[in-house]
């Protein structure tokens, strides 16, 4: 049960101006420039933060390189590194509500979701990869009798990490924890509209005993600090979650610098497919609205394309509409709120523009589509359902990243597969059917990194998450995530 008095006290607490965190200490921007940190709750300015540039990024990268070179982290015994990561997770859990409220004030996620999906999730992720430290080992190859083949796993070096604003602590931990557990040093560039909680997360890492320079944070604009991190020839691996347009720029920067490995999670336009034989249409409808409207639709795996079999199409749309109309939109620090604030004014305008464009393309707005609570100064939007979205419509093909659901009718399994696989993305998907054979066929046929069957959303750190097609490459979560941050080295030894 969330303590409202404590939440209100944390809401009212002033937030100090923030600088970068480099080599274990506060680092003022070289240029002296700063950015206002605006809360989407009411549009007011919470504080300011450093506006990093290439000089600041290079200072952070140099600190990370020194920390890696002198082995101050990777050279510690595995048991000691494991204990530090466990302590880091403990400190996060001790500040669970404080971190959550700080993050909600910064990015607008409803607190009922954020308390689990953000700080608690980050702590669990850090604990998971900390536990893996003393269980990572190399291999002995089945080589000829006169040769011994040893496969060593080594940290890659300096990892650049660029994370988005929708779930900064959760996604940040997915990238930071395995990189650090594998023995690397990291430079983190948070999103400019969601940096505060990640700065505190890094401070807690140092309080837990992580050596200086192992985790550095540079705040600022993507086109400045993020671009400089991507262009640095002293970064060995770059990991990113965000838009496809930015992903392309990062790949180009890699090609023009040191050919660093780049791992990308680039979002999606995920199909959620409801067959007429779904075991429970009530459950399917409830899952469908939550799959796209929670966190104002700002979820990479959101089921933003709903494909419904024709025989139940109108009935199912009515189930959706009635649920969406009842969803409570408002103050994200109110535990009763189901849909919080859109992250920024620019994102809100993009969402509303997408609705208007869908109408121009001939789609039908069933409900929503309007800005709400404008007098509050914050950025709120009605959950929006748009029917009759054809394959050629832009809303079918393009990610909105807002509370906008596109509904399309299909006839039969073959058309459902064709529609599901149409478009450039392949991150997540869902299938609702009581036919076990059909469920297996759909899992095999859909081109996506995740296929939910008779459920949507919710997952665990033990299973990988990654995309196909233009949704990216590489995997977050599970032990497979460690592969991005390790090099394999073969020792080939004569023994006769």
Do the two domains 4-266 and 271-469 of this chain adopt the same fold? no
Q: Among 162, 328, 321, which residue's Cα sits nearest to residue 235? A: 162
Rounded to the nearest 5°, which phi and psi values hold at 304? -85, -10
The encoded tokens of residue 240 equal 């990113």
Question: What is the Cα 335 distance to its own chain's centre?
Answer: 22
Per-residue model confidence (pLDDT) at position 18: 98
Q: How confident is the model at residue 55 (pLDDT cuts 50, 70, 90)?
A: very high
How confident is the model over 69-128, as pLDDT tens digits?
Answer: 999 999 999 999 999 999 999 999 999 999 999 999 999 999 999 999 999 999 999 999
Half-sphere exposure of 201 (CA within 13 A, CB side): 33
Q: Mean pLDDT, to the nearest integer, of 457-466?
A: 91
Which pLDDT value is given to residue 346?
A: 96
Q: How many CB atoms lie within 10 A of CB 79?
A: 10
pLDDT of residue 384: 98
Cβ contact 125:461 at 8 Å: yes
Beta strands in 327-399 (DSSP E): 364-367, 371-372, 380-381, 384-387
Phi and psi torsions of 399, nearest 5°: -70, 130
27 SS3 class: strand
**Sequence spans of domains, the chain:** 4-266, 271-469
Q: What is the pLDDT of residues 178-214, one digit of tens each?
A: 999 999 999 999 999 999 999 999 999 999 999 999 9
* Chain segment 24-35, per-residue pLDDT in tens: 999 999 999 999
Q: Tell me, what's the pLDDT at 490?
A: 96
From 38, 110, 118, 265, the catalytic residue: 265
> What per-residue confidence (pLDDT) applies to 458?
78
Residue 278 φ/ψ region, left for φ over 0, alpha for ψ in the -120 to 50 degree band, beta for the rest: beta
Give the span between the Cα atoms of 186 and 74, in whole angstroms. Answer: 12
138 C-beta neighbours (distance < 10 Å), count:
14
Please state, in angstroms and rounded to a whole number, the distance separating the CA atoms of residues 122 and 129: 11
Compute CA distances 484 → 20, 34, 299, 379, 481, whole Å: 26, 33, 23, 37, 6
Predicted confidence (pLDDT) per residue in 240-293, tens digit = 999 999 999 999 999 999 999 999 999 899 999 999 999 999 999 999 999 999
Question: Is residue 1 over pLDDT 80?
Answer: no
| Whether pLDDT at 144 is above 90 | no
With beta carbons less than 8 A apart as the criterion, state whether 165 and 107 touch.
yes
> Rounded to an integer, what distance in angstroms lies between the CA atom of residue 297 and that of residue 290?
9
Residues in the chain: 496
Pick from 213, 235, 148, 253: nearest CA to 495: 148
Residue 146 has pLDDT above 80, yes or no: yes
**What topology does CATH give the domain 4-266?**
Aldehyde Dehydrogenase; Chain A, domain 1 (3.40.605)
Backbone angles phi, psi at 386, to 5 degrees: -125, 120
Average pLDDT value for residue range 41-70: 98
Residue 465, SS3 per DSSP: strand
Task: Name residue 147's beta-bridge partners.
Answer: 494
Q: In this structure, are residues 230 and 222 in contact, taking their beta carbons and an 8 Å threshold?
A: no
The rounded Cα 465 to chain-centroid distance in angstroms is 10
pLDDT of amino acid 2: 87
Are 245 and 267 within 8 A, CB to CB?
Answer: no
265 in catalytic set? yes
* Superfamily covering domain 271-469: Aldehyde Dehydrogenase; Chain A, domain 2 (3.40.309.10)
CA distance to 36, 37, 490, per residue, from 26 (Å): 18, 18, 40
DSSP tag of 449: S
What pLDDT is attached to residue 496?
A: 83
Give the predicted TM-score (pTM) of the model: 0.97
């Amino acid at each position: 049960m969330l303590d409202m008095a404590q939440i209100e006290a944390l809401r009212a607490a002033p937030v100090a101006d923030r600088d970068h965190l480099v080599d274990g200490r506060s680092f003022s921007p070289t240029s002296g420039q700063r950015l206002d940190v605006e809360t989407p709750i009411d549009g007011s300015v919470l504080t300011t933060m450093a506006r990093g540039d290439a000089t600041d990024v290079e200072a952070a990268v140099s600190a990370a390189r020194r920390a890696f070179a002198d082995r101050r982290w990777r050279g510690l015994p595995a048991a000691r590194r494991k204990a530090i990561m466990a302590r880091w997770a403990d400190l996060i859990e001790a500040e669970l509500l404080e971190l959550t409220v700080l993050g909600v004030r910064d990015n607008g996620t409803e607190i009922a979701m954020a308390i689990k999906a953000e700080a608690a999730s980050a702590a669990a992720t850090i604990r998971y990869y900390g536990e893996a430290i003393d269980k990572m080992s190399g291999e002995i190859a089945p080589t000829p009798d006169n040769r011994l083949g040893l496969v060593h796993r080594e940290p890659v070096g300096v990892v650049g990490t660029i994370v988005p604003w929708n779930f900064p602590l959760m996604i940040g931990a997915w990238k930071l924890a395995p990189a650090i557990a594998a023995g690397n040093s990291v430079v983190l560039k948070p999103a400019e509209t969601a940096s505060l909680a990640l700065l505190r997360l890094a401070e807690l890492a140092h309080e837990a005993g992580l050596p200086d320079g192992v985790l550095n944070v540079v705040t600022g604009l993507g086109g400045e600090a993020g671009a400089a991190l991507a262009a640095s020839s002293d970064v060995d691996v770059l990991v990113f979650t965000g838009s496809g347009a930015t992903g392309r720029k990062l790949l180009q920067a890699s090609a023009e610098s040191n050919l660093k490995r780049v791992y990308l999670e680039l979002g999606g336009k995920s199909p959620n497919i409801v067959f007429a034989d779904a075991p429970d249409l009530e459950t399917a409808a409830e899952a469908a609205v939550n799959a796209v409207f929670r966190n104002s639709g700002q979820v990479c795996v959101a089921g933003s394309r709903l494909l419904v079999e024709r025989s139940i199409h109108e009935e199912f749309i009515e189930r959706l509409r009635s649920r969406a109309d009842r969803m409570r939109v408002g103050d994200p620090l109110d535990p009763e709120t189901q849909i919080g604030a859109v992250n920024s004014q620019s994102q809100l305008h993009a969402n509303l523009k997408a609705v208007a464009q869908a109408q121009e393309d001939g789609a039908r707005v069933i409900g929503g589509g309007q800005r709400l609570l404008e007098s509050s100064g914050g950025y709120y939007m009605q959950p929006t359902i748009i029917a009759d979205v054809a394959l050629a419509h832009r809303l079918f093909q393009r990610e909105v990243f807002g509370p906008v659901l596109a509904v399309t009718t299909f006839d039969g399994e073959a058309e459902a597969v064709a529609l599901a696989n149409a478009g450039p993305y392949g991150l997540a998907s869902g299938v609702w059917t009581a036919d076990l054979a059909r469920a297996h066929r759909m899992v095999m046929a859909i081109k996506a990194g995740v296929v939910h069957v008779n459920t949507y959303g919710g997952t665990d750190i033990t299973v990988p998450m990654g995309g196909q097609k233009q949704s990216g490459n590489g995997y977050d979560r599970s032990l497979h995530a460690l592969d991005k941050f390790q090099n394999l080295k073969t020792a080939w030894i004569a023994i006769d």
